[in-house]
């Protein structure tokens, strides 16, 4: 339109018209060129970065020489500095040497003398600017606060008899019972009886006692009977100052800095990089020796700020971006990593394999797994299971915000069927039992809410395909797990209200006895459902965080395990202990595949009430109980039911658990309000 009107002007000379046309075309092509260049620099050019496939990035130590190798594809210069100490306050370098450009964007240097226990940094020059000095992303050991890497002989960090450390036996994934805890929370209380409070070594102490002589720490975990200890992030994170003897700041650790090194605030000496390594290994060794496997909580989906190692070597490459070039925020933390890019995918896979080989960990829980692409997660799973076929991988099947990663590539709950040997948390059972997480006032099945029965049935079969589930009436409108082990059943975890707090908040007029009934009913559903049960640390003693839901940086007084509650609520602890034992003793509650669930688990329409569920588990050959009947009453009134023919033995009556049976029953039975009954023949 503009060009036509310009040419139509009768009083303008042909030359003037040409000038105008030239200007218009100049502006047009300038805009196109600028837009194209801008997008290429911020987004598209990352596809053109060289990919290094070698296994030797990082620091390779030998007494005769140490080889340093990093990937910095657009650097014009890289300097390696060696220091005597790991404290960045000591600014005097022992030496500074330029590294040599190598293949596929790498830079390397060999120091041909023994520099064991020296500290080091790299500094990259790119676009005529020197970037921040610091350790590489593959750093295996660091000094205080992770500002400098440390050259370490890793064999010197092995505890005594480390080569004899073994994974506890595990037959099926559905045999797993997860227990999520935090290094500091478990031991920091004054009444824990643990000497190494808040430290890795706190998990290694035996014979520790709390109020009334109750077992604490490691002995408590063993007494409870759980099989896998899921420890919140234990790699080096940003928010806690390791140099402060009496830590003034608390954090869960979801702000990663150095992914391949343990957190220094959990070590007895944060200045010597070897100490934190050895002490974390001692934790793993102690748990293994006492029959428990170790799950490491990993946070590859974002970093604790953009000054993390990734941007020191390849600015922007390891992160996703919006179309305008800004960092995308699918994690809700200000940035998200780009797992689909070759070098990020390579780093993630090599990192988890390192934790397995060096620290003997038995599996991984992925924070915001939905932000990782399916292909990366499947390649990672393949590598992990090639090393250890029994390793367990699971994660949060969602994102925390918009992400440029296409929906069909996200490792979300609805895509679990595309994932290979990877499980996801079931928010179906969580929200169905206690109420929507997004509505703090909402009630669930255990607190008398109606309309939740089909969602609970969906959870009972482990989110798998079952002919009796009416999916249109459940929270998830279709099964999302191919096999039951892909479903993590839970009602509380670290980043929300404890179960006790949630039930107290949503039932303000309820007595403590009524809250305990709801609590026991909720966990009975979790432990008798197909899939993998998950316990939030302290739930077994009605843990409270005094109403604080997101306590990631709250004081110890909010987050610590108060061992007085184990004495105060001994009955609750014994009930949880009974649930763990019940599940371990009866394979019918942990069937390994969907076909067996369809064959052996049948729902019974015994009572027309949406707050009541009944089902049978029949003829499971591996179970000493021939037939099992589970009755769940989430209503506020007792229910009457005619039992299937024959004499049954009551093993769970809503108050206590006895594997040998509490009493015999037959004919008509009354199930109290807010209670679970388990009967067997």
Active-site residue numbers?
Answer: 367, 396
Structure-token match 């050959």, residue found: 621
Which one-letter DSSP state was computed for residue 330?
T
Long-range contacts made by residues 644-647, C-beta under 8 angstroms, separation at least 24?
644/604, 644/616, 646/681, 647/681
User: For residue 597, which of 678, 529, 526 has the smallest C-alpha distance?
Assistant: 529
Answer yes or no: are the C-beta atoms of 191 and 210 closer than 8 Å. Answer: yes
Angle at 383 between CA 177 and CA 134, to 5 degrees: 95
User: For residue 479, which of 459, 497, 449 has the smallest C-alpha distance?
Assistant: 459
Quick check: helix, strand or coil at residue 608? Answer: coil
**C-alpha to C-alpha distances, 384 to 137, 344, 351, 471, 532, nearest whole angstrom:** 20, 17, 11, 34, 20
* Helices 342-359 and 374-387: angle between axes, nearest 10 degrees: 30
Sign of CA dihedral 224, 226, 232, 233: positive
Strand ranges for 22-144 from DSSP E: 58-61, 66-71, 77-83, 95-98, 100-101, 106-111, 119-126, 129-130
- β-bridge pairing 363-366 and 392-395: parallel
Cα separation, 165 vs 436, in Å, equals: 43
Alpha helices by DSSP H, 435-543: 453-460, 499-506, 512-528
Structure-token match 């040409």, residue found: 18
User: Cα Rg for the chain, rounded, in angstroms?
Assistant: 29
Buried b (16+ CB within 10 A) or exposed e, 30-47: eeeeeeeeeeeebbeebe
Cα separation, 317 vs 30, in Å, equals: 26
User: For residue 378, which of 411, 336, 355, 341 has the smallest C-alpha distance?
Assistant: 411
For residue 173, with 0-12 CB atoms within 10 Å meaning exposed, 13-18 middle and 19 or more buried, which class applies? buried
**C-alpha to C-alpha distances, 313 to 58, 126, 318, 443, 444, nearest whole angstrom:** 12, 9, 10, 50, 49
Q: What are phi and psi of 354, to 5 degrees?
A: -65, -45
Distance of CA 638 to the CA centre of its chain: 39
């Amino acid at each position: 339109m503009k060009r036509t009107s310009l040419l139509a002007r009768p009083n303008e000379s042909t030359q003037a018209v040409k000038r105008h046309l030239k200007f218009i075309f100049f502006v047009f092509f300038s805009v196109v060129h600028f837009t194209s260049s801008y997008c290429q620099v911020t987004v598209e050019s990352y596809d053109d970065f060289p990919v290094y496939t070698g296994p030797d990035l990082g620091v390779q130590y030998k007494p005769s020489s140490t080889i340093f190798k990093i990937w910095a594809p657009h650097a014009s210069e890289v300097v390696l500095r060696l220091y005597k100490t790991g404290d960045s306050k000591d600014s005097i370098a022992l030496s500074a040497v330029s590294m040599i450009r190598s293949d596929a964007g790498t830079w390397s240097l060999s120091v041909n003398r023994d520099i064991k226990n020296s500290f080091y940094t790299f500094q990259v020059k790119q676009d005529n600017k020197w970037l921040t000095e610091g350790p590489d992303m593959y750093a295996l050991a660091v000094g205080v606060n992770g500002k400098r890497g440390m050259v370490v002989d890793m064999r010197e960090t092995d505890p005594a008899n480390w080569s004899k450390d073994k994974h506890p036996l595990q037959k099926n994934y559905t045999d797993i019972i997860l227990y999520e805890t935090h290094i500091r929370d478990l031991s920091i209380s004054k009444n824990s009886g643990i000497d190494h409070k808040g430290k890795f070594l706190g998990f290694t102490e035996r014979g520790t006692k709390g109020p009334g002589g109750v077992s604490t720490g490691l002995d408590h975990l063993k007494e409870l009977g759980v099989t896998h200890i899921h420890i919140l992030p234990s790699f080096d994170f940003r928010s806690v100052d390791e140099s402060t003897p009496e830590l003034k700041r608390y954090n869960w650790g979801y702000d990663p800095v150095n992914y391949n090194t343990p957190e220094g605030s959990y070590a007895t000496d944060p200045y010597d990089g070897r100490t934190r390594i050895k002490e974390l290994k001692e934790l793993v060794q102690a748990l293994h020796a006492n029959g428990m496997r170790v799950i490491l909580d990993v946070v590859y989906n974002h970093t604790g700020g953009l000054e993390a190692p990734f941007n020191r070597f390849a600015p922007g490459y390891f992160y996703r971006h919006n179309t305008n070039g800004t960092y995308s925020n699918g994690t809700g933390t200000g940035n998200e990593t780009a797992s689909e890019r070759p070098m990020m995918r390579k780093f993630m896979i090599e990192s988890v394999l390192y934790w397995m080989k060096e620290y003997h960990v038995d599996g991984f829980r992925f924070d915001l797994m939905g932000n990782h692409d399916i292909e990366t997660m499947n390649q990672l799973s393949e590598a992990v299971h090639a090393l250890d076929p029994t390793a367990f991988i699971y994660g949060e099947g969602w994102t925390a915000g918009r992400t440029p990663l296409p929906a069909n590539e996200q490792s979300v709950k609805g895509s679990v069927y595309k994932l290979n040997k990877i499980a996801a948390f079931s928010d179906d059972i969580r929200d169905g039992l206690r109420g929507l997480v997004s509505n703090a006032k909402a009630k669930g099945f255990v607190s008398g809410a109606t309309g939740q029965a089909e969602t609970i049935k969906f959870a009972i079969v482990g989110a798998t395909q079952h002919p009796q589930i009416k999916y249109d009436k459940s929270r998830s409108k279709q099964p999302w797990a191919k096999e039951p082990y892909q479903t993590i059943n839970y009602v509380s975890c670290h980043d929300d209200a404890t179960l006790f707090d949630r039930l107290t908040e949503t039932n303000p007029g309820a007595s403590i006895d009524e809250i305990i009934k709801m609590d026991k009913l909720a966990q009975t559903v979790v432990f008798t459902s197909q899939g993998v049960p998950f316990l939030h640390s302290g739930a077994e003693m009605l843990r409270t965080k005094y109403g604080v839901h997101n306590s990631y940086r709250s004081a110890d007084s909010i987050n610590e395990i108060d061992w007085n509650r184990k004495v105060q609520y001994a009955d609750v602890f014994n009930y949880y202990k009974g649930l763990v034992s019940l599940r371990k003793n009866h394979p019918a509650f942990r069937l390994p595949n969907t076909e067996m669930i369809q064959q052996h688990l049948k729902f019974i329409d015994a009572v027309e009430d949406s707050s009541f569920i009944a089902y049978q588990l029949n003829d499971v050959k591996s179970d000493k109980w021939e037939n099992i009947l589970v009755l769940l009453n989430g209503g506020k009134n007792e229910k009457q039911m005619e039992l299937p023919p024959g004499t049954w033995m009551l093993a769970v009556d809503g108050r206590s658990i006895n594997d040998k049976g509490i009493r015999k029953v037959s004919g008509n039975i009354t199930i109290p309000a807010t209670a679970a009954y388990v009967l067997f023949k």
